Amino acid sequence: MLEERLSALGGRPIQAEVPVSQVDGPAPLSFVQERIRLIHLTEPDVPVYHTLRVFRLRGALDRQVLSASLKEILRRHEVLRTTFEEVDGEPRQIVHEPFKAPLRFVDLSGFPERVREAERIRIAQEEVRRPTDLERGPLFRMLLIRLAEREHDLVLVAHHAIFDGWSTDVFRRELAVLYEAFSAGQPSPLPGLPIQYGDYARRQREWLRPETVDGQLDCWRRRLDGVPSLDLRTE
């Protein structure tokens, strides 16, 4: 979601030449997002699509710098501040303004070690079980837990419609780069993003139009013509 291999069946890349910000109207959902949203709507209070990531931060920590780094990541990646609403009867991606609320903070440093460990687990579990409203959001939540003067847990809870395993690595790398730069009083060294996830979803819909899909099917019918069929058991 933060990054995605923009490819489709047949090895032909899905390219989004025009950013969503330059196209009128909100972007459609990608096919994956549409499927996840449909399942979510059947059981909105079940957190099956909530992803939990906990990063242990060791060493001196500047909370203001960390908060600024997180806000920059949210500014860069529109998908992290996206919700899903119906527009003219069709689900659409609604991108909101950059996140401005402060990073939530819980201090457990005053508790005994055994109590502190149990409490940090309880807080993380409570956060991941908290229901998510796909229309109102937020779909990306952050919490900083202080365990000791030089030890913190950064807890991220995101809906799978906007965040996945690939996103985790991108998030970790960007956070490390931004925190180092901001700690030194430097601007972000990260290059601008050429496209956003909404661009990918829009292009995916355009590329998989019926006439394109029919052409792909015809291509494979020709390639497989004459290949012996497989007798697969269905019972």
Token pair, residue 221, equals 């019918």
Whether residue 4 lies inside any domain: the answer is no
Whether residue 187 lies inside any domain: the answer is yes
Whether residue 229 lies inside any domain: the answer is no
Residue 132: what are its φ and ψ, rounded to 5°?
A: -120, 130
Domain count, the chain: 1
End-to-end CA separation in angstroms for the chain: 38
Average pLDDT value for residue range 39-51: 88
**Predicted confidence (pLDDT) at residue 135 exceeds the cutoff of 90:** yes
Which domain range does residue 85 map to?
26-210
Whether residue 100 lies inside any domain: the answer is yes
Say if CB 174 and CB 190 are below 8 A apart: yes
**Helix (H), strand (E) at residue 126:** helix 113-129
Whether residue 12 lies inside any domain: the answer is no
pLDDT at 9: 31
- Between 25 and 140, where is the model more confident? 140
Q: Which residues contact 3 (CB under 8 A, 6 or more apart)?
A: 166, 167, 170
Token pair, residue 102, equals 């402060």
**Would you give the DSSP letter of residue 60?**
-
How do residues 182-209 score in pLDDT, each as one tens digit? 999 999 999 999 999 999 999 888 877 7
Whether residue 70 lies inside any domain: the answer is yes
Q: Which of 42, 19, 38, 16 is nearest to 29 (CA)?
A: 38
Q: What's the pTM?
A: 0.80
Say if CB 163 and CB 51 are below 8 A apart: yes
**Predicted confidence (pLDDT) at residue 110 exceeds the cutoff of 80:** yes
State the CATH number of the domain containing residue 67.
Answer: 3.30.559.10
Whether residue 177 lies inside any domain: the answer is yes
Whether residue 106 lies inside any domain: the answer is yes
